[in-house]
Structure 1
Amino acid sequence: MRISIRDLVTLRARTPQAIAEAAARRVRRPLIGAGGRLMIVAADHPARGALAVGDRQLAMADRADLLERLCVALSRPGVDGVLATADILEDLLLLGVLNDKVVLGSMNRGGLAGASFELDDRFTGLRAEDIERLRFDAGKLLLRIDYDNPGSLRTLESTARAVNEMAARRLPLFIEPFIVQRVDGRVRNDLSAEAVARSIAIASGLGGTSAYTWLKLPVTDDPDDMAEALKASTLPVVLLGGEAHGDQQGVYEKWRKALQLPTVQGMVAGRALLYPAEGSVETAVDTAVGLL
């Protein structure tokens, strides 16, 4: 029997073991389904303190609203699964909406948005053993590389260790790499083709094997350069969505072009679908699915 969002607090307080029980009975599916493409909805932003969507600074701070949006997105045809931290995934488990869905656990959320230690991105989320124990299907980590910040080296080392730990369990790991720099105190992603290619090469070589490694990549500033950047590796790729910044149609067009490239196997999008600049969650999700 499914419960409602308003029942989550009571269930968590009185029967915390219900989470493990829900994880044990969840119906699983292969990572790549019959359609041959992946469409994953992302919601791991809150754990890094990134709550803003556009000019709404606390948009993702309303957990009930976020869960409602996720439930809508997961109910749409063609949506394969969800990426989130343990708290959100466990809410979705209790709500009973993760059967036959791919579940990706977010692993490193310690690089809090705007913090002085943002690029020393510690692994404060799900560990490989947690993903295995909860019968989730894959992991995801963020790898931001600033050549002027020693915190990036610690993140690189931790990432290599996570690659090994996930591969030992034969669990896919999605690495989201960026070359970054601080501009006026804020971390900025370099989305030039050269920087994206360099980030791909670095991420691809981490760990003792790349057999279970996937890449989660942004579209380059000039979408026409994306094919050149993707020549840096033979690893399978999913596109990341990012924010629409009011230009929803422009975002869709960038995704459409990049999804035609041979190494791209699908996409992982969050705020652009859950909090679309225009239209409903249903419309945004269905449009993205149509691009696949």
Structure 2
Amino acid sequence: MTETHISSAKFEDLRRIRAEAPATVTELFRDRKRRDLLGDDGKLFIVAADHPARGALAVGDNPTAMANRYELLERMAIALSRPGVDGVLGTPDIIDDLAALGLLDDKIVVGSMNRGGLRGASFEMDDRYTGYDVTSMVERGIDFAKTLVRINLADAGTSPTLEATANAVNEAAAAQLPIMLEPFMSNWVNGKVVNDLSADAVIQSIGIAAGLGNDSSYTWMKLPVVDEMERVMEATTMPTLLLGGDPGGDPDATYASWQNALALPGVRGLTVGRTLLYPHDGDVAQAVDTAAAMVHNL
């Protein structure tokens, strides 16, 4: 990664704002230039960076790839500068950094809500809502809400997570705030939570998640690209963004699977993080441009 978008002076200013003038972050966020949720083509391409808040810093075989916040912000700045990138998904710390750096004009901002189910924790399935809430997102002018809905039929922690998610759906609908649900059927395997990526499991998770709350009119889905994706998309009428998942394997095969899934009815775009921010060859701009071209036919 050789491209640079944030100077050392900008980072120094960010540190100064956080220490000496924290109200500036709110002001910069409030005064940013806004845009409509969907452009003329009705598609969305969102870059995700909410992984560290769950203690998930690994990319591929590097366990601390996302640990350096300055490097992550630099990669985010490169991604947000590329044509066709509509916005960013993050927790408050990431979004506030990007706002203070002046990188959110004309971008859709998606607030990540539940990050309490820390990776590897005994309580991982009890995925508390420890990030944004609907009230704060509406007050700050955030455009979209996002939740993770892992459903483990063998773990009682799933129950409070489902209840909290239903409440979030209710609050978002009342506020007319779009909210995307990222559902999985999950299991404990050798002490780790493993998501079932079979088509039948994804379809089952959609059925459960789609029924949460008392008003589904503002609910979107955020779904993995799996085999038999045609069957998966037949399981919902809700607008859907595809997620990138953990990077690995053949990038060309990954891109091909995205391209095929993007052509399906109901699919509105991509929400991808590590696969594009930490590509195998280190070229963030090229990886982002490849995905943007698929979403927006650039």
Tell me how far 1:56 sits from its aligned partner. Answer: 1.1
| 1:48 aligned to which of 20, 31, 54 | 54
Q: Say whether 1:256 aligns with 2:259.
A: yes
Distance 2:200 2:281 in 1: 32
Tell me how far 1:5 sits from its aligned partner. Answer: 2.1
Structure 2 letter corresponding to 1:231 = E
Moved over 6 A (4+): none
Once the two structures are superposed, residues 64-104 of structure 1 have per-residue CA deviations (whole angstroms, 9 ceiling, x without a partner) of 00000000000000000000000110010011110110000
Tell me how far 1:285 sits from its aligned partner. Answer: 0.2
Distance 1:278 1:193 in 2: 31
Once the two structures are superposed, residues 206-253 of structure 1 have per-residue CA deviations (whole angstroms, 9 ceiling, x without a partner) of 101111000000011x2xx01112211100000001122142111111
| 2:281 aligned to which of 278, 283, 288 | 278
Distance 1:7 1:48 in 2: 27
Distance 1:267 1:154 in 2: 29
RMSD, aligned α-carbons: 1.1
Q: Percent identity?
A: 54
Cα distance change on mapping 1:106 and 1:242 into 2, 3 Å: same
| 1:267 aligned to which of 258, 270, 276 | 270
TM-score (norm 1): 0.97
Report the count of equivalent residues. 288
User: Match of 1:93?
Assistant: 99
Q: Say whether 1:141 aligns with 2:147.
A: yes
Q: Say whether 1:195 aligns with 2:201.
A: yes
Q: Say whether 1:152 aligns with 2:158.
A: yes
Tell me how far 1:6 sits from its aligned partner. Answer: 3.1
Instruction: Please tell me whether the aligned partners of residues 134 and 171 of structure 2 are also in contact (alpha carbons under 8 angstroms).
Output: yes
| More displaced 10-residue stretch of structure 1: 6-15 or 159-168 | 6-15
TM-score (norm 2): 0.95
Structure 1 letter corresponding to 2:10 = S
3-state SS, counterpart of residue 253 of structure 2: helix
Q: Say whether 1:27 aligns with 2:30.
A: no
User: Match of 2:187?
Assistant: 181
Structure 1 letter corresponding to 2:251 = Q
Once the two structures are superposed, residues 263-289 of structure 1 have per-residue CA deviations (whole angstroms, 9 ceiling, x without a partner) of 100010000000012240000000011
Once the two structures are superposed, residues 154-200 of structure 1 have per-residue CA deviations (whole angstroms, 9 ceiling, x without a partner) of 10000000001111110000100000101111111101111000111
Structure 1 letter corresponding to 2:36 = P
Structure 1 letter corresponding to 2:75 = R
